[in-house]
């Protein structure tokens, strides 16, 4: 188990390094000199030269690359071209906002999706099974910006049940995470984006869970569990669902990765001050340090989630350990 975890960790670090390197190249390939935003061509040539020196831009590219890597590790991610704030400061605030919304959306998706999948398979061909499949597929086929807009039109503008966007009422910025979580206004505002995310992704865990449940329910050990005299609920959860979960865990890792990308749309739609929104803003305003930081942060988030999925999978399926040990 430890061996497997260490191996996964090494792979994860390698992936992170690769992503960081690709980002370095990408940002240097972007049209327009990144320095244009801060170093005005109208300045005196000597001043331009001195400023380039200050930013380290006169160094050869390979040296810049090593400085870049060193700065990544030491968390010197530079300052925003626009607000001159430290990128790490901006990100640490935005990161939690994104994480909160994602956690809410993914919890809804996974808990409801897996739960429904279990019951749908257990009562195969019932109204719930057929209805659930149809509704799930309709939601999946509807892009989040449509679902979100419909929710906003009906529940916010027409019925006025939920606020239209933002994370807290204007002018009431909370001091820190705890304060935010204690605000009823925050919970009012998180409902619609959570439903938007949930509706779009729910069919994935639901249908995968249903399928793997049906497969597991045909197994010999399910018949034996029934023959042992276990209650149907115990057979369904302890034996069938527990085994069927393996397939969902794999898919969830991938799905959450996609959902991180999807945050851009949802956050823009609901004016949620998270990293998705930040990504759009910084790209639009050519704020390269912030854009680079946002991309990096989101990539790290996805990679870390995949790492945890692998570990969880290994914990859920004892057969994995043997395979990992066999690789030595």
Partner 1 sequence: MTKVTTADEFVLQVRGLGVRYQTSQGTVHAVSDVSFEVRKNEVFGIAGESGCGKSTLIRALLRLLPDNADSAAELALYRDQDLYGLSDADFRQNILWQEISLVPQSAMNSLNPVYRVGDQVVEAIRTHRRVSKAEARGRVAELFDVVGLQADLMQSFPHEFSGGMRQRAMIAMSLALDPGLIIMDEPTTGLDVLVQERILRRIREIRSEISSSIILITHDIAVIAEMSDRIAIMYGGQFMEQANAIDLFENPYHPYTLGLKNAFPSIRELGSELISIPGSPPTLVGPVTNCPFQPRCPFHLDRCASENPLPINFGEDHQVRCFRSEDANQLRHLAAEKSTWRSLN
Q: Which residues of this chain interact with partner 1, rule CB under 8 A?
A: 219-221, 223-231, 234, 239, 242-243, 316-319, 322
Tell me how far, at minimum, the Cβ of 210 lies from partner 1, in Å: 17
Nearer of residues 173 and 228 to partner 1, judged by Cβ: 228
Tell me how far, at minimum, the Cβ of 277 lies from partner 1, in Å: 41
Partners of residue 86 on adjacent β-strands? 79
Tell me how far, at minimum, the Cβ of 256 lies from partner 1, in Å: 23
Nearer of residues 83 and 219 to partner 1, judged by Cβ: 219
Tell me how far, at minimum, the Cβ of 88 lies from partner 1, in Å: 42
* Closest by Cα among 117, 268, 122 to 206: 117
Tell me how far, at minimum, the Cβ of 238 lies from partner 1, in Å: 8
- What is the end-to-end Cα distance of the chain in Å, rounded? 13
Nearer of residues 122 and 201 to partner 1, judged by Cβ: 122
Nearer of residues 225 and 291 to partner 1, judged by Cβ: 225
* Cα 183 to Cα 169: distance, rounded to the nearest angstrom: 10
Nearer of residues 206 and 245 to partner 1, judged by Cβ: 245
Tell me how far, at minimum, the Cβ of 122 lies from partner 1, in Å: 12
Nearer of residues 183 and 230 to partner 1, judged by Cβ: 230
* Cα 75 to Cα 88: distance, rounded to the nearest angstrom: 7
Tell me how far, at minimum, the Cβ of 223 lies from partner 1, in Å: 6
Tell me how far, at minimum, the Cβ of 96 lies from partner 1, in Å: 35
Nearer of residues 230 and 251 to partner 1, judged by Cβ: 230
Nearer of residues 158 and 233 to partner 1, judged by Cβ: 233
Three-state SS letters, the chain: CHHHHHHHHHHHHHHHHHHHHHHHHHHHHCCCCHHHHCCCCCCCHHHHHHHHHHHCCCCCHHHHHHHHHHHHHCCCCCECCCCCCEHHHHHHHHHHHHHHHHHHHHHHHHHHHHHHHHHHHHCCCCHHHHHHHHHHHHHHHCCHHHHHHHHHHHHHHHCCCCCCCCCCCCCCCCCHHHHHHCCHHHHHHHHHHHHHHHHHHCHHHHHHHHHHHHHHHCCHHHHHHHHCCCCHHHHHHHHHHHHHHHHHHHHHHHHHHHHHHHHHHHHHHCCCCCHHHHHHHHHHCCCHHHHHHHHHHHHHHHHHHHHHHHHHHHHHCCHHHHHHHHCC
């Amino acid at each position: 188990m430890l061996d497997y975890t260490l191996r996964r960790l090494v792979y994860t670090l390698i992936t992170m390094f690769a992503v960081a390197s690709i980002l370095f190249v990408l940002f240097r390939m972007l049209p327009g000199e990144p320095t244009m935003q801060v170093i005005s061509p109208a300045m005196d040539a000597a001043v331009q030269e001195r400023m380039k020196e200050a930013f380290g831009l006169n160094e050869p590219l390979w040296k810049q690359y090593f400085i870049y890597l060193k700065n990544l590790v030491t968390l010197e991610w530079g300052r925003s071209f626009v607000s001159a704030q430290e990128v790490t400061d901006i990100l640490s605030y935005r990161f939690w906002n994104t994480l909160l919304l994602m956690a809410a959306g993914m919890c809804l998706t996974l808990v409801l999706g897996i739960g429904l999948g279990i019951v749908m398979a257990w009562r195969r061909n019932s109204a719930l099974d057929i209805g659930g499949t149809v509704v799930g597929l309709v939601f999946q086929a509807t892009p989040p910006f449509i679902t979100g807009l419909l929710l906003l039109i009906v529940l916010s503008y027409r019925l006025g049940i939920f606020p239209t966007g933002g994370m807290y009422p204007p002018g009431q910025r909370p001091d820190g995470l705890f304060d935010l979580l204690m605000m009823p206004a925050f919970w009012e505002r998180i409902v619609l984006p959570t439903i938007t995310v949930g509706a779009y992704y729910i069919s994935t865990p639901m249908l995968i869970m249903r399928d793997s449940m049906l497969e597991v329910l045909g197994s010999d050990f399910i018949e034996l569990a029934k023959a042992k005299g276990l209650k149907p609920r115990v057979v369904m959860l302890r034996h069938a669902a527990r085994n069927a979960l393996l397939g969902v865990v794999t898919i969830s890792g991938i799905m959450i990765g996609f959902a991180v990308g999807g945050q851009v749309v949802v956050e823009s739609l609901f004016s949620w001050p998270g990293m998705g929104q930040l990504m759009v803003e910084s790209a639009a305003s050519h704020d390269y340090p912030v854009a680079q930081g946002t991309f990096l942060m989101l990539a790290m988030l996805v990679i870390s989630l995949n790492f945890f999925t692998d570990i969880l999978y290994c914990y859920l399926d004892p057969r994995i350990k043997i395979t990992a040990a066999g690789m030595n």
